[in-house]
Homo-oligomer: A and B are copies of this chain.
Amino acid sequence: MENIDIKFIAKKSECSIATVSRVINRSKPVSEELQKRVIDTIRKYNYNPSIYAQNLAGKKSRLLGFIMTNYINQYQLLLFRYLNEFACKMGYGCIIRYCNSGFEEKLEVLRELEIRGIEVCFSLFLLSQEEEAYIKEHFRIKVCHMQSPEMRLNIIEKNESSVYEAVCYLAQLGHKRIGGIFCIDEIDDSFLMARKRGFLKAISQINLDQDESMIGQLHGECEKDSVISVIEKIFVPQKPPTALFCYSDEVAIEVMSWIMKQGYRIPEDISVLSFDGIPFAGRVTPSLSTISQPVEYQAKCIINGMLYLQDGIERPCDEKGNEYLLQIRDSVGLPSH
């Protein structure tokens, strides 16, 4: 069987390959009649231009890169699922690489993506200004992340305010001793920091117990052991908190497990509230209250942002979708005293 390429289509349509190319790309006007003829043959023979040839001839790659953290996190997995979905919708394919937090390793991954002909890549790791500058200097590939301005996610502000409001909500229920578990990364102003800021702001504003020992800090990886050692410090038997905010659902589930093993009841003895809104949060016992992120919306913004980096065309998202919802479930109740 003959190969169905642009030459074949041209022959069948009785025109030149240049014309076929023009029809495909709408790059130059073609008479209506001829255009119809070409489209019909393309349909008839189910022709698809070779993306490799297109690329060689100077077109962009239609491939987006993604750097995911090696630590398997529900929220990320979900986010990527949507990212992939939107990318497909826009006619793009996604190439993922998993990677540890070291900068060297990220550079290695970037190099691999660049080899694949990828022009724009999204990193789930935030990047410091120096890192971004280094990449800009040494790579052709453009890198962006959650906090890149092109994404228009307002993520820092949204994180801070939603946590602030959630803690206020707990206070309204009557909680006075509210603990918090946070995660710190090396970036100066990250959305993870913002969660803590929102928490602290609420604590200090509403005149709650400001007990330093009720605030725990994780660093990067959230191994079971480190989670437990943090939570142990918060739960001093003399005066445990009556409510606990946790920066992520995943960690919160771990924490709830520990709390219940110690014999405390949730929410009778202690309420737990966390952040992310992963599907599992609603399935564990007791079901976990959480601030759910607009994952789908975020994915859309990210893809639009990446495409902007790719072709310079702005595709604004409706800001209305960017809502962080406080979902109160069984893990939150009134304080018992």
A45-87 interface mask toward B, CB cutoff 8 Å, 1 = contact, 0 = none? 0001011110110000100000000001000011001001100
Q: Is the CB of A51 within 8 A of B115?
A: yes
- Least Cβ distance of A60 to chain B in Å? 11
Q: Provide the bound-state CA to CA distance between A53 and B72, in Å.
A: 35
Q: Is the CB of A112 within 8 A of B88?
A: yes
Q: A81-B98, A253-B284, A284-B285 are in contact. Are A52 and B48 (CB under 8 A)?
A: no
Q: Provide the bound-state CA to CA distance between A224 and B81, in Å.
A: 21
- Name the residue of chain B whose CB is nearest to the CB of A118: B93
Q: A51-B116, A56-B56, A93-B116 are in contact. Are A279 and B98 (CB under 8 A)?
A: no
Q: Does A187 contact B (CB under 8 A)?
A: no
Q: Report A264-306 residues with CB < 8 Å from chain B CB.
A: 279-280, 283-285, 287
Q: Does A37 contact B (CB under 8 A)?
A: no
Q: Report A300-334 residues with CB < 8 Å from chain B CB.
A: none
- Least Cβ distance of A160 to chain B in Å? 28
Q: Provide the bound-state CA to CA distance between A94 and B72, in Å.
A: 18
Q: Is the CB of A283 within 8 A of B81?
A: no
- Name the residue of chain B whose CB is nearest to the CB of A65: B93
User: CB within 8 A of A72: which of B115, B256, B260, B279?
Assistant: B279
Q: Is the CB of B52 within 8 A of A117?
A: yes
- Least Cβ distance of A276 to chain B in Å? 14
User: CB within 8 A of A98: which of B53, B84, B256, B285?
Assistant: B84
Q: Report A94-138 residues with CB < 8 Å from chain B CB.
A: 94-98, 112, 114-117
For A53, list chain B residues within 8 Å (CB): 52, 56
Q: Does A185 contact B (CB under 8 A)?
A: no
User: CB within 8 A of A56: which of B50, B96, B279?
Assistant: B50
Q: Does A239 contact B (CB under 8 A)?
A: no
For A51, list chain B residues within 8 Å (CB): 52, 115-117
Chain A binding surface SS class: helix
Q: Does A261 contact B (CB under 8 A)?
A: yes
Of the four ranges (under 10, 10 to 19, 20 to 34, 35 or more), the interface on chain A belongs to 35 or more
- Name the residue of chain B whose CB is nearest to the CB of A49: B115
Q: Does A16 contact B (CB under 8 A)?
A: no
Q: Report A184-208 residues with CB < 8 Å from chain B CB.
A: none
User: CB within 8 A of A253: which of B95, B260, B283?
Assistant: B283
User: CB within 8 A of A95: which of B94, B256, B280?
Assistant: B94
For A226, list chain B residues within 8 Å (CB): none
Q: Does A213 contact B (CB under 8 A)?
A: no
- Least Cβ distance of A42 to chain B in Å? 13
Q: Does A229 contact B (CB under 8 A)?
A: no
Q: Which of the listed residues A50, A85, A96 has the most CB atoms from chain B within 10 Å of its own CB?
A: A96
For A88, list chain B residues within 8 Å (CB): 97, 112
Q: Provide the bound-state CA to CA distance between A249 and B21, in Å.
A: 51
- Name the residue of chain B whose CB is nearest to the CB of A59: B52
Q: Provide the bound-state CA to CA distance between A262 and B280, in Å.
A: 20
10 A-B residue pairings within 8 Å (CB atoms)? A50-B56, A51-B52, A52-B55, A72-B78, A72-B279, A93-B95, A94-B96, A253-B284, A257-B284, A285-B285
